[in-house]
Chains A and B, each alone.
Chain A
Amino acid sequence: EVQLVESGGGLVQPGGSLRLSCAASGFTFSDYWMSWVRQAPGKGLEWVANINQDGSEKYYVDSVKGRFTISRDNAKKSLFLQMNSLRAEDTAVYYCARTTHFDYWGQGTLVTVSS
Chain B
Amino acid sequence: DIQMTQSPSSLSASVGDRVTITCRASQGIRNDLGWYQQKPGKAPKRLIYTASSLQSGVPSRFSGSGSGTEFTLTINSLQPEDFATYYCLQYNSYPRTFGQGTKVEIK
Chain A residues packing against B (C-beta within 8 Å): 35, 37, 44-47, 50, 59-62, 95, 99, 101-108
Contacts and interface: CB of A to CB of B under 8 A. Distances in A.
Given A44-B87, A45-B87, A101 B46 contact: yes
B95 A61 contact: yes
A47 B87 CA distance: 12
Interface of B: 34, 36, 38, 42-46, 49-50, 55, 87, 89, 91, 94-101
A59 B97 CA distance: 13
Chain B at the A interface: SS class: loop
Contacts of B46: 101-104
A16 B29 CA distance: 37
Nearest to B55: A103
A108 B42 CA distance: 8
Given A103-B55, A105-B44, A44 B101 contact: yes
29 contacts: A37-B44, A44-B87, A44-B98, A44-B99, A44-B100, A45-B36, A45-B38, A45-B44, A45-B89, A45-B101, A47-B95, A47-B96, A47-B97, A50-B94, A50-B96, A59-B95, A95-B43, A95-B44, A101-B46, A101-B49, A101-B91, A102-B91, A104-B46, A105-B43, A105-B44, A105-B45, A106-B43, A107-B42, A108-B43
B39 to A, nearest CB: 12
Nearest to B48: A101
Nearest to A6: B43
A113 to B, nearest CB: 21
A47 B45 CA distance: 15
A61 B34 CA distance: 19
| Closest 5 pairs between A and B when the two form their complex, measured CB to CB | A47-B96, A105-B43, A101-B49, A45-B98, A61-B95
